[in-house]
Amino acid sequence: MHSSTSSSDLIFCRQSPAKPLGKILFCAMGTLLLTLAVLEIHARKNGILPTRDMNMSFWQNHRFKLDSQPRDTTVIFGASRLTFGLDHDTWEQMTGARPYNLGLHGASSLPMLHDYATNTDMNGIVICAISGGFTFANEQIPFSDRIAKAIRDINKNRYSFALRSEDFTGRALQARFAVLNPYLYSPTEFLREHLRFPTRTDERAWFHIPFTVHHTEENQDIYINDLTDPYYLDQWDTMHQTVLTYMERFEPRDLNDAIEQVIEDVNAIESRGGEVIFVRCPVTRFFRQWEAEHFPREEYWDPIISRTGCRGFHYLDNEVTKSLQPPDGSHLMPDEAKLFTRELARFVRTVD
Amino acid sequence: MLFNSVIFILFFLIVVAVHYLPINWKLKKLHLLLASYFFYAAWNPPFVILLWISTCVDWFAARGMNRVRSKLKRKLFLFISLTANLGMLSWFKYGTLFMETFASLVEPLGWVWVAPEFNITLPVGISFYTFQTLSYTIDIFLKRSEPEESFLDFALFVTFFPQLVAGPIVRPNQLIPQFKSPKRATANQFSWGVMLFIWGLFQKSVLADTILGPVAGHAFGLAEEMLVFDAWLATFAFSGQIFFDFAGYSLCAIGIAYCLGFSLPDNFKSPYAAIGFSDFWRRWHVSLSEWLRDYLYIPLGGNRKGNKRTKINLMLTMLLGGLWHGAAWRFLIWGAVHGFYLLLERTFFQRSKSHSELGFLPRLLGTLLTYLAISITWVFFATPTWESCGIAFRSLIGWTDSPIPVIKTIEITMILPVILAMLIGHWYMRDRKLVTVVQQLPNWILGILLFTILTVVVLTGGSDSAFIYFQF
């Protein structure tokens, strides 16, 4: 900033290298396509399916599509425990219709319920997960704030072509080609997978654990890759413990205010013929201890059921689900998800 | 519409196809203008109105300014332009900050005022196109140039989609003359444009978003006391992230424009090879530095009004430059620290040898010290709150009670080589141009490099991260 003259008086004219750049580009792109084809065949031969990337734009687009579903569609709200824990095929076998799953990893179901009550006129069954930590998480926590923000901006985002088009391209590419799963052949993930360094003492980190989640077009998580591998499990545990420790620094949402809001939302849904059913998903290991300590059932489950008058499915009240053992402590694997879904669907059917 | 999204590639292919149809130049420009409006509206359609307001106000203000002779009337037209542009910028970008600050200032006086919740959404790129269009009216006010005759060319100058939302901030005399005659890239130029775009995407999607960003974001967002090693590594990771994010975007913009036959100026010139802070600002976000120099620092008097006034001008320029980056007082402090650096340099090193006269070791030492000092200032950018900012600084100097490791070992093994490669790359490219270096590469090596970068970009994919500089 010391010069007193402008350097932008001359029209800039960019040069390009004097090389056969077109041929080089053509060869590079051709080889890329060939490589992708080989990798796709390799993935399919190994039974790997295409998977959608689970991000906010995916969730928002999924939410927009709710508006075009039949009014009486069964809708699922919750965090990852319900995207993993609810098997859509089993649900359809049991109830005759596929559910619409709006679960989002690390999200509170309460803003979703409020959005459903106020921004839709739907009147089907609502399965709303109460997960303790995430459900009542302080909105200052970034991963808690993102769902509230997404819902707050829902009408603005509805007209965002950039956002809406991501669904189109996702369906056209990610949902069709396994090679585009970023966890599969990405060189950075390859390094993370093969350089297995141990966790440092007291480490708190949650990004980039080497895992593969299979996530479908319907917003259903089918599996986490190989939790029988001690390395994966250790990485997974570090991530979860980091989240739990982080959340302890924030006061939870005011319980009374939260329940008042839930009552208002439930009344709105019931007044148009809908029904809300609360669900508590199975947890084990340090999750059970943490939730019992910070979000005990007597304070964070029973009052919701009694004050809203809704029915609740708590996994500990069911003979089958109380013995389910999520291997990481929080997420059911495919076989157990089927069992859980069957029991939940039975419970819901008795309401009908 | 992000450059790193599939839909942008589709959009761009359509734009290129129409641009190379055998139709007249005016129609092609009209098509580019409409495509640019569509590109901007893709985020949030109503905000296109802001672009129209900016375009119309500055078009008429400039013509009015040129028509009248009275200095007072000229000033009135300039005032209209400044008020309209800076008014919109202030409202959308700084409205909430000003209201909250006002509320906190009057609270100790016993006046409890709660700032109304407007839920203001920041229009993407407003800081960039506001500065770009302001340069047009200010140039005409200062009689540096004449008003543009063609409304179409002027509207396209304000809206040209490759650099609309995150620069480079282009001056009227850099871009408008390029609209005067038909532009088309040769096959070689087109291929070079695509290569620049791919190299930019690699910097953004792979280096910034996949390797460096998550680590820096986690370490600073956690707001926990970190080990000194982790704190420094996170700081260096952010220095790399913000560079690759923004330089990557600029390169994409330059490549896209070049494919259409237009030349945009370089925005980054190996900034981490800078020796000293004024050298840094000649290399980092060059189009903003030059804008601030030409439209703020020099009009304030520059270095022509004595030493004391020069220092004040420098500090004011850096403070406003800081605030330009974001609606938080941390950005103002960031600007102040950079202003302080420049003052120190001006005081102690003004008469020292030029960089080319220095030996290898002094140059290396100067570069590393500059990088270190610059990296520390990025902490103001990287931390989301004052609390996390304080914790980060305390962690950097080891003033902590129970620090913890927050970066995984595997991430350390990836970050360190990337940072090291970035610094060596900047050092090597300090006085070189990319085009010259590529020219010297054997074709087969260029082909392998291009294939590798392309493959890594495609296989890494999957990110929906917006560019950091979009928020500025």
Task: Tell me whether residues B438 and A17 touch, CB distance under 8 A.
Answer: yes
Low-confidence ranges of chain B (pLDDT < 50): 467-468, 470-472
Between B121 and A161, name the one with better pLDDT: A161
Residues B408, B294 share a domain: yes
Residues B422, B314 share a domain: yes
* Partner A, chain B 41-80, Cβ-Cβ below 8 Å: 41-45
Q: What's the CA angle centered on A94, arms A88 and A98, to 5 degrees?
A: 35
CB A213, CB A221: distance < 8 Å: yes
Task: Tell me whether residues A6 and B290 touch, CB distance under 8 A.
Answer: yes
Asked if B456 reaches chain A (Cβ–Cβ under 8 Å), the answer is: yes
Chain A residues with CB under 8 Å of B455 CB are 32, 35
CB B170, CB B287: distance < 8 Å: yes
CB A192, CB A208: distance < 8 Å: yes
CB B214, CB B393: distance < 8 Å: no
Tokens of B169: 């901030």
Q: How far apart are CA B335 and CA B362, in angstroms?
A: 27
pLDDT in tens, A221-270: 887 777 788 888 888 888 888 888 888 888 888 889 999 999 999 999 99
Cis status, amide bond into A210, omega within 30 of 0: no
CB B274, CB B431: distance < 8 Å: no
Q: How far apart are CA A99 and CA B318, in angstroms?
A: 56
Residues B105, B240 share a domain: no
Exposure on the CB side of residue B231, measured as CA atoms within 13 A: 24
CB B223, CB B410: distance < 8 Å: no
Tell me, yes or no, whether A40 lies in a domain: no
Tell me, yes or no, whether A35 lies in a domain: no
Choose one of B155, B183, B211: the last residue of a domain. Answer: B183
Give the minimum alpha-carbon distance from A240 to chain B in angstroms, rounded to a whole number. Answer: 14
Give the minimum alpha-carbon distance from B181 to chain A in angstroms, rounded to a whole number. Answer: 14
Q: How far apart are CA B374 and CA B363, in angstroms?
A: 16
Tokens of A314: 């708590």
Q: Which residues, in sequence order, are CB contacts of A167 under 8 Å at separation 6+?
A: A57, A58, A61, A65
- For chain B, the 3-state helix, strand and coil shares in percent, each to the nearest 5, are 75, 0, 25
Residues B321, B256 share a domain: yes
Tell me, yes or no, whether A304 lies in a domain: yes
Residues B243, B374 share a domain: yes
Give the minimum alpha-carbon distance from A174 to chain B in angstroms, rounded to a whole number. Answer: 9
Residues B146, B33 share a domain: yes
pLDDT of residue B75: 93
Task: Tell me whether residues A198 and B254 touch, CB distance under 8 A.
Answer: no
Choose one of B135, B162, B183: the last residue of a domain. Answer: B183
Tokens of A70: 């039949």
Residues B264, B224 share a domain: yes
B218 catalytic per annotation:
no
Parallel/antiparallel/unpaired status of strands A221-224 and A213-215: antiparallel
pLDDT of residue A6 exceeding 60: no
Residues A192-199 have a mean pLDDT of 80
Q: What domain range includes position B412?
A: 189-471
Of A218, A289, A256, A222, the closest CA to residue A74 belongs to A218
Residues B196, B145 share a domain: no
Choose one of B183, B213, B233: the last residue of a domain. Answer: B183
Task: State the total domains in chain A.
Answer: 1
Residues B195, B179 share a domain: no
Average pLDDT, chain A: 87
pLDDT in tens, A258-302: 999 999 999 999 999 999 999 999 999 998 898 888 889 998 899
Closest by Cβ to B188, choosing from A21, A185, A191: A21
Closest by Cβ to B194, choosing from A7, A25, A199: A25
Question: Of the listed B19, B325, B338, B426, which one is catalytic?
Answer: B325
User: Which DSSP string corresponds to A294-321?
Assistant: HS-HHHHTHHHHHHH--EEEEGGGSTTG
pLDDT of residue A143 exceeding 70: yes
Taking the model in full, what pTM does it have? 0.90
Task: Tell me whether residues A180 and B461 touch, CB distance under 8 A.
Answer: yes
Tell me, yes or no, whether B333 lies in a domain: yes
Tell me, yes or no, whether A347 lies in a domain: yes
pLDDT in tens, A332-350: 989 999 999 999 999 998 8
pLDDT of residue A8: 45
Measure Cα distances from B97 to B209, B329, B331 in Å: 28, 9, 12
Q: One-letter amino acid identity for A193?
A: E
pLDDT in tens, A86-117: 999 999 999 999 999 999 988 899 999 999 99
Q: How far apart are CA A317 and CA A337, in angstroms?
A: 17
Q: How far apart are CA B339 and CA B311, in angstroms?
A: 9
Report the 10 Å Cβ neighbour count for A256.
Answer: 10
Of A24, A172, A120, the closest CA to residue B5 belongs to A172
Tokens of B222: 């956690």
Q: How far apart are CA B145 and CA B138, in angstroms?
A: 9
Q: How far apart are CA A287 and CA B11, in angstroms?
A: 47
pLDDT of residue B399: 93
User: Which DSSP string corresponds to B295-334?
Assistant: IIITTTTTTSS-HHHHHHHHHHHHHHHHHHH-SSHHHHHH
pLDDT of residue B120: 66
Task: Tell me whether residues B222 and A2 touch, CB distance under 8 A.
Answer: no
Closest by Cβ to B7, choosing from A7, A21, A165: A165
ipTM value for the complex: 0.86
Task: Tell me whether residues B447 and A198 touch, CB distance under 8 A.
Answer: no
Residues B174, B201 share a domain: no
Could you give the residue ranges of the DSSP H alpha helices within B223-300? 228-259, 277-281, 286-292
Tell me the CA end-to-end span of chain A in Å, nearest whole number.
Answer: 74
Task: Tell me whether residues A28 and B224 touch, CB distance under 8 A.
Answer: no
Tell me, yes or no, whether A300 lies in a domain: yes
From A172, which residue of chain B is nearest by alpha-carbon distance?
B6
Chain B residues with CB under 8 Å of A1 CB are 278, 281, 289, 292-293, 297, 314, 317, 342
Residues B399, B263 share a domain: yes
Residues B237, B175 share a domain: no
* Partner A, chain B 196-255, Cβ-Cβ below 8 Å: 206, 210-211, 214-215, 217-218, 221-222, 224, 254
Q: What domain range includes position A301?
A: 56-194+214-224+254-351
Of B374, B470, B360, the closest CA to residue B422 belongs to B374
Of B236, B187, B244, the closest CA to residue B210 belongs to B244
Tokens of B21: 């149809």
Strand, helix or coil for residue A33:
helix
**For position A159, which CATH number holds?**
3.40.50.1110
pLDDT of residue A225: 73
Q: What is the DSSP letter of A127?
A: E
Could you give the residue ranges of the DSSP H alpha helices within B107-227? 126-141, 151-159, 172-175, 187-201, 213-222
Report the 10 Å Cβ neighbour count for B50.
Answer: 18
Tell me, yes or no, whether A22 lies in a domain: no
pLDDT of residue A316: 92
Task: Tell me whether residues A29 and B7 touch, CB distance under 8 A.
Answer: no
Q: How far apart are CA A329 and CA B17, in angstroms?
A: 54
